[in-house]
């Protein structure tokens, strides 16, 4: 079992990275092979909406997104962490999400993977919501989320979390849940149902209506019988 943890904080050794690493440590103790990626130090261009991925199935930009994507696609589980910046996920996380959106969302390429969302803020407001949004990004791309955790830093320049012991113990429990979900290939029936009712019919309709514009996607859907010819 391989788990990739990605910290999208501007601070390599800040509390977001500390919490992501804590989850990875617990997973490693359980027997998982883990990899930590600090995305803050990477060169990540913005998505330019060129739609190359929708016509070719790959991102045209050759920067540090490519090795991150490779790690993500090879992983069974993802631990995705962001600080709360301006009441939202970091621009680094958002860039990764935007670069992944058309590439992984339409093709459901995270199917079979499980994720945890982690967010760390200066206070609670919106922090838990950010953690959930991050986790749901994996669900949008065909995977499941096993849980999410919002935590609060004592101060910006302090490498401690409020109620750190309690937070770390919640992080450990989430790691155990992720491990168990992956090990048992747990079907999250509700997550699957919501996606099936609210997302997939609309997306399939878009692909059908744009079959001449996106033949790659259309054939992808036909091959998988997500659409009838
Ligand atoms: C640009 C910037 C914007 C921030 N905006 C918020 C915010 O809106 N809400 C919040 O709770 N904390 C905010 N913070 C505080 C950080 O979320 C907090 O310090 C967190 O620990 C940062 O993660 P790090 O320890 O990984 O660097 C902000 C920090 C920075 C640098």
Please write the tens of the pLDDT for every residue from 84-117: 999 999 999 999 999 999 999 999 999 999 999 9
Could you give the residue ranges of the DSSP H alpha helices within the chain? Answer: 15-30, 52-56, 65-74, 91-100, 127-140, 164-183, 189-194, 200-209, 215-223
Q: Please report how many Cα atoms fall inside a 13 Å half-sphere around the Cα of residue 35, on the Cβ side.
A: 17
Per-residue pLDDT of the chain (229 residues; tens, 9 = 90+): 999 999 999 999 999 999 999 999 999 999 999 999 999 999 999 999 999 999 999 999 999 999 999 999 999 999 999 999 999 999 999 999 999 999 999 999 999 999 999 999 999 999 999 999 999 999 999 999 999 999 999 998 889 999 999 999 999 999 999 999 999 999 999 999 999 999 999 999 999 999 999 999 999 999 999 999 8
Residues 6+ apart with CB under 8 A from 160: 15, 153, 154
Angle between helices 127-140 and 91-100 (to 10 degrees): 20
List the structure tokens of 160: 């401690």
| Residue extents of the structural domains in the chain | 2-186, 188-229
Look at the domain 2-186 and name its fold.
Rossmann fold (3.40.50)
d(Cα 9, Cα 4) in Å, to the nearest integer? Answer: 16
Task: Assess whether the C-beta atom of 81 lies below 6 angstroms from ligand 1.
Answer: no
pLDDT for 158 equals 84
Q: Tell me, in angstroms, the distance from the centre of ligand 1 to residue 83's CA.
A: 6
Residues 6+ apart with CB under 8 A from 202: none
Task: Assess whether the C-beta atom of 160 lies below 6 angstroms from ligand 1.
Answer: no
Task: Assess whether the C-beta atom of 190 lies below 6 angstroms from ligand 1.
Answer: no
The predicted-structure confidence for 66-76, as pLDDT tens digits, reads as follows 999 999 999 99
Task: Assess whether the C-beta atom of 16 lies below 6 angstroms from ligand 1.
Answer: yes
Task: Assess whether the C-beta atom of 200 lies below 6 angstroms from ligand 1.
Answer: no
Q: pTM for this structure? A: 0.97
Q: How many CB atoms lie within 10 A of CB 94?
A: 18
Q: Looking at the DSSP assignment, which residues form a beta bridge with residue 7? A: 38, 81
């Amino acid at each position: 079992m391989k788990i990739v943890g990605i910290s999208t904080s501007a601070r390599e050794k800040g509390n977001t990275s500390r919490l992501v690493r804590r989850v990875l440590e617990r997973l490693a103790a359980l027997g998982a092979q883990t990899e930590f990626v600090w995305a803050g130090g990477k060169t990540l261009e913005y998505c330019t909406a060129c739609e190359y991925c929708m016509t070719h199935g790959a991102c045209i930009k050759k920067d540090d997104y490519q090795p991150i994507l490779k790690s993500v696609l090879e992983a069974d589980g993802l631990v995705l962490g962001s600080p709360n910046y301006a009441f939202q996920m970091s621009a680094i996380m958002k860039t990764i999400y935007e670069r992944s959106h058309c590439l992984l969302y339409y093709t459901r390429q995270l199917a079979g993977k499980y994720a945890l969302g982690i967010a760390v803020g200066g206070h609670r407001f919106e922090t838990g919501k950010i953690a959930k949004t991050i986790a749901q990004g994996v669900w949008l791309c065909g995977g499941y989320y096993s849980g999410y955790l919002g935590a609060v830093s004592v101060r910006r320049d302090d490498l401690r979390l409020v109620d750190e012991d309690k937070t770390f113990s919640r992080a450990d429990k989430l790691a155990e849940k992720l491990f168990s979900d992956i090990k048992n290939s747990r079907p999250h029936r509700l997550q699957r149902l919501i996606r099936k009712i609210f997302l997939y019919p609309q997306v399939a309709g878009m692909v059908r209506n744009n079959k001449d514009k996106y033949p790659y996607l259309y054939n992808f859907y036909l091959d998988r019988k997500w659409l009838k010819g």
